[in-house]
């Protein structure tokens, strides 16, 4: 880890002082579920959504999730779904999204990092998640920023989390804010909250889900 910076809830840090605006940055999620005794996979999902100044995603191609992994021009690239987390920190990151800020559209004024529990039902929630953190790395995969979920966020009411947000300061400067805003919103709820149509998104990127209804 070396010179990485540990943030607490509410803190901000100018990302482009640490990582070049034109180079790739990597946004990674890790977790384990040692507190969970159930028999199903405990699947946390990392999603990134680009928002305009009103908090709306104008183009769902810039909503990156496990069924839609690539934004136009390579601005965002998702590594793919990890359904079980990691055993220990030495196992690496569970899910990673590559970001190239210079390739984002002008309307994108922020990028919200969402963490949701897939198929949570009644027996899975953030109260059972251990060692959850997001970290941002430079193009060489050197860790620059880390934000770990606090104990206060480990509650049974939380099945979705706005973990953090990247905000555009001007054309080529961005900062990261550690948010940790838990709720009972799942990924479907967030799609609607950010101004997208749930049916359209699923039909376009995951039509097999509609067939399974």
| pLDDT at position 199 over 90 | yes
The CATH fold assigned to 5-211 is: Lipoxygenase-1 (2.60.60)
Closest CA to 85 of 30, 130, 126: 30
| pLDDT at position 4 over 80 | no
Q: Where exactly are the structural domains of the chain?
A: 5-211
Structure tokens at 149: 């979920």
Looking at residue 1, its pLDDT comes to: 44
Question: What is the per-residue pLDDT across 111-148, written as a single tens digit (0 to 9) for each?
Answer: 999 999 887 766 788 877 777 889 999 999 999 999 98
CA distance 7 to 12: 8
pTM: 0.89
Looking at residue 103, its pLDDT comes to: 96
Who contacts 15 (Cβ-Cβ below 8 Å, separation ≥6)? Answer: 25, 136, 144, 145, 166, 174, 175, 176
């Amino acid at each position: 880890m070396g010179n990485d910076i540990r943030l607490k809830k509410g803190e901000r840090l100018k990302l482009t002082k640490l990582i070049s605006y034109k180079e790739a940055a990597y946004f990674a999620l890790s977790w384990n579920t040692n507190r969970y005794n159930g028999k199903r996979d405990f699947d946390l999902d990392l999603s990134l959504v680009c928002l305009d100044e009103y908090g709306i995603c104008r183009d769902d191609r810039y909503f990156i999730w496990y069924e839609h992994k690539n934004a136009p021009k390579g601005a965002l690239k998702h590594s793919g779904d990890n359904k079980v987390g990691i055993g220990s920190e030495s196992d690496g990151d569970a899910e990673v999204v590559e970001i190239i800020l210079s390739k984002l559209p002008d309307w994108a004024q922020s990028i919200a990092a969402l963490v949701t529990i897939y198929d949570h039902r009644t027996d899975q929630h953030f109260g059972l998640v251990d060692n959850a953190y997001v970290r941002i790395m430079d193009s060489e995969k050197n860790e620059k920023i880390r934000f770990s979920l606090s104990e206060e966020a480990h509650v049974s009411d939380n099945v979705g989390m706005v973990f953090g947000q990247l905000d555009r300061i001007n054309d080529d400067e961005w900062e990261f804010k550690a948010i940790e805003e838990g709720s009972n919103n799942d990924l479907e709820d967030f799609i609607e909250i950010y101004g997208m149509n749930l049916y359209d998104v699923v039909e376009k990127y995951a039509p097999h889900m509609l067939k399974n209804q």
